[in-house]
Amino acid sequence: MANSSRSLRLILTAVLALVLAAALWATIATLRSGIALWQELHDLPVWLQYAASGLIAAVVLGFAWLTWRLLRPRPRKPVVAKAPERAEVQARLDVLAQQRADTEELQSELAELDRRARSEQLYVAVFGEISAGKSSLIRALAAGAAPTSDVLGGTTRAVAHYAGHIGEVELIYADVPGTHEVSGKTREAVARDEALRAHVVLYVCAGDLTRDQDAELHWLRGFGKPLVLVLNKADQLFAAERLALTAALRQKYRDVTDAQVVVSAGGTQTIERHFADGRVETLTRERTADVGALIEVLARQAHSGAAAFEPAREAAVLSRVDARAAELEASLREHEAEAVVAKYTKRAVVGALAAVMPGSDLVIQAVLATGLVRELSKLYDVPVRDIDIDAFVAQVKLSVRTSASLVLAIAGNAAKAFPGLGTLGGGMLHAIAYGLIFDSLGRAVALTLRERHALDRDAAASALSRLLADTSAERLSRIAQYALGNENEKS
Ligand SMILES: Nc1nc2c(ncn2[C@@H]2O[C@H](COP(=O)(O)OP(=O)(O)O)[C@@H](O)[C@H]2O)c(=O)[nH]1
Ligand SMILES: [Mg+2]
């Protein structure tokens, strides 16, 4: 070992020495030919000297330019996943609506998408914590505007819209509630949806950003919209303080924001006047606003027109609606899977009650198990070959045989827990046991199909043995009801 590593090091040293020698040689050779060229140039007539120097300079410059082109830092582009087509999303919603899923909210999101696209207004979502001065800023930008309503209902009502103008362009400002204005999950959904629906996003702060604000700013960056950091309440800062703060913010968020501006939104101020006779009078008055720097940035965006930002906005909203449609589909499918499992569980229970089966040997009915797996794989759109289903059912039979005593014990507990059942005779124990087996089998198969998009036998078998041991009261009562319901129907 020691020997071989030593010889390896020797070889490496030799190679290194060779490389160094070659580099040295190449350098000397280049220098020599450079000097030779220089001397040859000197011997040439003056005009040729100039021409040759010009040529060399051109080649060097060209090479430098090429290197710059290839190595220069690329402008940063937010990564936006490819959005689905409008028609695709609509078709998906139509199918869901046919299946009686509640698609109303998603439909109105699409309607709002179209409405905003047609309106040619520039939508500006204003974010920031409570008291950063969002509402005051909007008042300064859209003086006298009353909140407009839009077609979206529900939680989105928390966002108020105000119309203002810059030049010819109408801008709609959305006052998005801050973290402490609306609670947790609702706010997150409201904020995200409004960021997606906007062309431009403003983030208002009144000082250095806290950790939460920092995180929110980065989160907003992720939507790929033009993001402007607005430092408000500049009037409260001394000149030196203001310089230091803006320099720090510029440095820190250079790569996060598209522009940073300093403003005073104004807002109202209450002052108390104390008179000599002891009277106190409170006055409210407007502070002077200075939002010129922000108007300049918005004017630039308004100048390129809302249409310029429309593709990004449309892609963002469509991706979101599509993702939510996928969630709806998944939950619909889960409900259907539950119905299929219930159907086969009932059949298994009924079959067991009908058959006279003495002894404690649990032999599951392969026909039923095969039907269950086949129906579930069709539901989850996973192609499964018959041969694989047969192999899986054979495997399940084995695992049921090994856990038969456990299953019968659980079934016995269920029968005891529901007084009516115990008196119904020995067949009942088997019926509940079969119910347990089919309920577990169906859930295990549905779970693997959903998560792995394949009938993974080992995964399904391990889920099955876990589910077979589940003795929750809710479950046992459900299965016992199947048996009891059937007994009652008969009698
Ligand atoms: N000194 C100063 N106070 C401001 C300025 N802008 C807003 N304010 C005050 O900050 C407080 C919160 O403003 P508001 O617009 O309600 O904040 P929001 O919660 O983000 O909507 C109010 O008391 C405003 O008067 C400003 O530019 N300078
Ligand atoms: Mg407010």
Look up residue 187 and give its amino acid. Answer: R
Using the mean position of ligand 2's atoms as its centre, give its distance from the Cα of residue 265 in Å.
Answer: 12
pLDDT at residue 429, rounded to an integer: 80
Atom of ligand 1 nearest to the CA of 267: 25
427 vs 35, more confident: 35
Does residue 468 carry a pLDDT above 50?
yes
Q: What confidence score (pLDDT) does residue 419 get? A: 67
Residue 32 has pLDDT above 80, yes or no: yes
Structural fold of domain 121-304 = Rossmann fold (3.40.50)
pTM for this entry? 0.68
What separation in Å is there between the alpha carbon of 124 and the centre of ligand 2?
15
Evaluate if residue 99 carries a pLDDT over 50. Answer: yes
Range in 280-284, 302-306, 361-365, 464-468 with the lowest mean pLDDT? 361-365
Residue 213 C-alpha to ligand 2 middle, in angstroms?
A: 16
Give yes or no for residue 265 CB within 6 A of ligand 1: yes
Burial of 444 (0-12, 13-18, 19+ CB in 10 A): buried
Angle between helices 366-379 and 427-452 (to 10 degrees): 30
E strands along 36-188, which residues? Answer: 122-128, 160-166, 169-175
pLDDT at site 153: 44
Tens of pLDDT, residues 249-280: 999 999 999 999 999 999 888 888 898 998 99
* Residue 101 burial (CB count, 10 A): 17
Ligand 1 neighbour 260 (Cβ under 6 A)? no
Going by alpha carbons, the residue nearest to atom 13 of ligand 1 is 133
* CA of residue 127 to ligand 2 center, whole Å: 10
pLDDT at 352: 82
What whole-number distance in Å separates Cα of residue 5 and Cα of residue 183?
A: 65
Q: Among 131, 213, 285, name the best residue to mutate to test ligand 1's pocket (greatest count of ligand atoms within 8 A of Cβ).
A: 131
* Shortest-distance ligand to the CA of residue 140: 1
How open is the CA angle 326-327-333, to the nearest 5 degrees? 90
- CA dihedral for 423, 426, 429, 435, sign (positive or negative): negative
CB 133 less than 6 A from any atom of ligand 1 = yes
Give the strands of the sheet with 227-231, arranged side by side: 160-166, 169-175, 122-128, 200-205, 227-231, 259-262
- The atom number, within ligand 1, closest to the CA of 204 reads 20
Residue 404 confidence (pLDDT)? 81
pLDDT of residue 414: 77
Three-state secondary structure string covering 21-70: HHHHHHHHHHHHHHHHHHHHHHHCCHHHHHHHHHHHHHHHHHHHHHHHHH
- The count of other CB atoms within 10 Å of the CB of residue 271 is 9
Mean pLDDT, the chain, whole residue set = 87
**Average pLDDT over every residue of 228-249:** 95
* Predicted local distance difference test score (pLDDT) of residue 422: 58
Residue 400 near residue 407 (C-beta atoms within 8 A) = yes
d(CA 173, CA 170): 10
* Mean pLDDT computed over 215-234: 93
Among protein residues, the one whose CA lies closest to atom 8 of ligand 1: 267
pLDDT one-digit tens code per residue, 287-341: 899 999 999 999 999 988 888 899 889 999 999 999 999 999 999 999 999 999 9
Q: Whose CA is nearest to atom 11 of ligand 1?
A: 131
Q: If pLDDT is split at 50, 70 and 90, which confidence band does 151 have?
A: very low
Whole-number Å distance, alpha carbon 77 to ligand 1 midpoint, is 33
Measured in Å, residue 145 CA sits from the centre of ligand 2 at: 14
Locate tokens 């199909």: which residue? 449
129 C-alpha vs ligand 2 centroid, how far in Å? 9
pLDDT in tens, 170-202: 999 999 888 777 777 777 788 888 999 999 999
